[in-house]
Structure 1
């Protein structure tokens, strides 16, 4: 019997109570195993979150990786401390780490296999340290790493095979370094890299062989470089590249017609360089380009036919840094005899070469906008004519006020319709939109012509019906039938010769 004395006079413990005690102990053990940090205390100078499995030791003046970090930690923030190095076994006790932030420390050396035990690591931040060289094997066995930030260090060269084990890396930052050379095989192994930023370096050239390993690259940003020219086929192997951003190349003066050969770009930005004309020859093969930015370049005039090969171009942005610099819009025509070019203002006034003021026409037929005011808004028409006829070119100009410290700018936006552009010119603290499109008069005329054609067809059909009905009314409804009797039938009546007539009427 439960609870009765057993042999030797001992009382037996009731079985239900024993099972409750066993379940309670098991539950406590399971909780201890499941909760991170429950078996180990949080480092005294850090903040821990068991729910997020994160440890933050930011701004704690640490000189070494602190002890007591829970082994289940997935996010470790050691940024803005005084760490000088990362040894191979420093992070070995934390194999579940997925993100490590070592930014803004004093790390000058990375040992080979420094992170080899962190095979679950996805994000590694080493920005703002003192790294001068990254040895081969520093990122060994980081096959799951997707983001790496090495910017704002003191690296002078990227050695061959520096990133060879990072086959799944998607984003790489190596800007704000002292780079003077990138080895031809430095990017070998980056099979999945999609986004690369190189900026504020001392590079004087871009090697096509170096970039050829980045077959999956989608976006490439090259900022603040000392490159003087883009040579033939600099990006020839980047077949998946969709966006290229070239910014602050003060020595860039030449862009080869074959520099973008092999690319299928959707957007291209070439800003803050020293090119003096639109590199239209290099745009020849960019049939899928929709957005183009040519701002802050000393380009004095914009020729519409410079973009004739960009069939899908929707937006062109051009911003001029020098306030008050005139921007010229050319309207040219060829023919025999040579066509005469006339510009008509929105007020339907002719703008001649003798005009003086904010907007004039140069002897070449160029419309020069020196500065614009709100009263200059409207549609400008370029008319080219000779003995053979004339052709027109429409430009809609919309002026909007800008702050006094605004830069001069003009934008071009072309829709899917052929010949439709949008230029925005900001001169003398105003913003001007110049849109080459069909105006209201042209739309009304086209609509009227369509209606007249339709009404003409309807009238012609009614005329045919009228003629047919008139002809039908002139037909005779009566006719006469003659026939003769057979010989067996006697001839009766006054009709001679056995002939008889019947008059019949059509119904």
Structure 2
């Protein structure tokens, strides 16, 4: 005798499963008022029969069921919830759930399904929740879910999906949430997803796709939350990959992004929550997130952040929370924010922070800012090492959180008067705490970069290679840190040289020696001569051509002669009569005719 539990109005009663005298499976005998039937973990090998027709919930989980036959539950028209999870089901027949016209929830989690035949879910027009997770499903075929017009949530995580047909989701007009996880998809099923016009939440986890192409989520205008996580090879988002979406929440975590995908994000003007955690991102650059006008939270924990540039959050008037914990940041300057007064939550823990004047603004707000239970800790200098921000008193802040302004060490005048083609170096060394940044300004008031003919070397030295007359002028070195700036001007005067002197010329990112150019020009001139052959060559060529022509003609005549001889008796003469025209044109009646004979060869 097997005992199952019957529940009715939260009161539990026991019901007995009897066996007929012939040893076959008997029927369940339930009272007419039965509502819930709990037969979980009863080692059932098949679905029993005889359930009361007014049952609202049936739990057959944790058994040994292997198949679900056609119209298996047709006698339960009032059933609203069916749980077949954690069995050994490998096959479901077409119309397996036909007759369950009131079913709202169907769980088939953790079974052995590999394929779902089209028509299995026919008749489930009222179903709202379907869980197919933790099976071995390989493919979703066209029209697999076509009769499920009321479905709202589809769980398809942890399957072996290799393909989702373009029309697999046809008919799912009301699905608002789709979860895919641990599949073998090699591309985003764009066409299939576009059949879900009401989709609001999409989670795609643990794929091996390296890039998200343009228009990957087209026609998903109602999508509000997108989660892309644990794609270890994902390193690229095309600039229009998220175009057309009106997301309010975006998570791209545990991937391989080396930088924030600014071009892809700029379209998301409704975005409020952005999580890029656990990516090898090294910097948050300045003035590139301004299009995200409604952004309130940014999470970039567990990355490789080395710096957050000034103006990184410029224009973000609604910005409330920043989580950059467990990175490699040494500081976070106040100038990164549009307004630090709006900031409510800041996570800086897990960074090698240098506690100097750049972090003074954070420490002074340590009582108002919410550190989410994880206090920032100083790593440098040694005097405050391992001290948490909350441990500092207000009196010691001016003494400990200090900086030394940038100062250029050698301020002796530097002027160079050189001839064209000379390489010139201008030194600019500075010290300070923190270490100052060196910037050079050209005579045309432009910032000089680290590449090109005129460039700034890693040690801060200005290099002018192969100086030209137009390079003349004054150049300014700027050394600056959080505590202050210093500057130094140098002068360069370049004298022109005679044109016959060899001076390299910079063309197309390469230097070309004038001697080489001259040689090239001479070669071109020689190749442009109007008569490339002498008279002797011309005579020989003409003679050979004439002899070749005569040989060809002779061969033709010989061939024609032998051909005519092979035709037998041939007439060798031809007589031709003619009538001459008058001098006035056209022959008259009085004109006399003539005749001549032609000999044929």
Q: TM-score range by the shorter chain?
A: 0.5 to 0.7
Quote the offset at 1:142 in angstroms: 0.7
- 1:43 is matched with which residue: 2, 10, 17? 17
Give aligned pairs, total: 329
Provide, for residues 232-260 of structure 1, a one-character-per-residue CA deviation record: whole Å limited to 9, x for no partner: 11111101101000010111011011111
Q: SS at the partner of 2:307?
A: strand
Question: Which residue does 1:171 correspond to in 2?
Answer: 153
Native 8 Å contact 1:43 1:66 kept in 2: no
Q: SS at the partner of 1:281?
A: helix
Question: Which residue does 1:328 correspond to in 2?
Answer: 307
Give runs of aligned pairs for residues 2-81 of structure 1, distance below 5 A.
43=17, 53-81=35-63
- 2:92 is matched with which residue: 102, 110, 117? 110
Question: Which residue does 2:217 correspond to in 1?
Answer: 235
After superposition, the Cα gap between the structure-2 partners of 1:400 and 1:243, relative to the gap in structure 1 and judged at 3 Å, is: closer
- 2:110 is matched with which residue: 128, 141, 148? 128
Per chain length, whose mean CA-contact separation is higher, i.e. which structure has more relative contact order (CA < 8 Å, sep 6+)? 1
Quote the offset at 1:67 in angstroms: 3.2
Provide, for residues 101-149 of structure 1, a one-character-per-residue CA deviation record: whole Å limited to 9, x for no partner: 0001000001000001111111110000000000000000110000000
Query: Does structure 1 residue 93 correspond to structure 2 residue 75?
Result: yes
Native 8 Å contact 2:287 2:311 kept in 1: no
After superposition, the Cα gap between the structure-2 partners of 1:165 and 1:276, relative to the gap in structure 1 and judged at 3 Å, is: same
- 1:277 is matched with which residue: 259, 270, 281? 259
Quote the offset at 1:94 in angstroms: 1.5
Q: SS at the partner of 2:217?
A: coil
Deviates more, 1:47-56 or 1:150-159: 47-56
Question: Which residue does 1:313 correspond to in 2?
Answer: 295
After superposition, the Cα gap between the structure-2 partners of 1:332 and 1:195, relative to the gap in structure 1 and judged at 3 Å, is: closer
CA distance in 1, matches of 2:33, 2:165: 44
Provide, for residues 411-448 of structure 1, a one-character-per-residue CA deviation record: whole Å limited to 9, x for no partner: xxxxxxxxxxxxxxxx999899xxxxxxxxxxxxxxxx
Q: SS at the partner of 1:319?
A: coil
Provide, for residues 281-330 of structure 1, a one-character-per-residue CA deviation record: whole Å limited to 9, x for no partner: 11122111111111000001112423111001011111115xxx553111
Query: Does structure 1 residue 286 correspond to structure 2 residue 268?
Result: yes
Aligned Cα root-mean-square deviation (Å): 3.7
- Structure 2, unaligned stretches of length 5 or more? 1-7, 20-27, 313-327, 337-349, 378-384, 391-601
CA distance in 2, matches of 1:183, 1:264: 25
CA distance in 1, matches of 2:162, 2:206: 13
- 1:372 is matched with which residue: 353, 357, 361? 353
Question: Which residue does 1:209 correspond to in 2?
Answer: 191
Q: SS at the partner of 2:263?
A: helix
After superposition, the Cα gap between the structure-2 partners of 1:249 and 1:52, relative to the gap in structure 1 and judged at 3 Å, is: farther
Query: Does structure 1 residue 196 correspond to structure 2 residue 170?
Result: no
After superposition, the Cα gap between the structure-2 partners of 1:112 and 1:400, relative to the gap in structure 1 and judged at 3 Å, is: closer
Question: Which residue does 1:348 correspond to in 2?
Answer: none
- Structure 1, unaligned stretches of length 5 or more? 1-33, 334-356, 382-395, 407-426, 433-507
Quote the offset at 1:91 in angstroms: 1.1
Native 8 Å contact 1:400 1:431 kept in 2: no
Quote the offset at 1:378 in angstroms: 3.4
Query: Does structure 1 residue 185 correspond to structure 2 residue 158?
Result: no
Q: TM-score, normalised by structure 2?
A: 0.50
Q: SS at the partner of 2:179?
A: strand
Quote the offset at 1:372 in angstroms: 2.7
Provide, for residues 33-79 of structure 1, a one-character-per-residue CA deviation record: whole Å limited to 9, x for no partner: x99xxxx9653699979767000000000001123421211100000
Give runs of aligned pairs for residues 482-501 of structure 1, distance below 5 A.
none
After superposition, the Cα gap between the structure-2 partners of 1:430 and 1:213, relative to the gap in structure 1 and judged at 3 Å, is: farther
CA distance in 2, matches of 1:49, 1:231: 59
Q: SS at the partner of 2:288?
A: helix
- 4+ aligned runs moved over 4 Å, structure 1: 44-52, 373-377, 396-404, 427-432
CA distance in 2, matches of 1:110, 1:398: 53
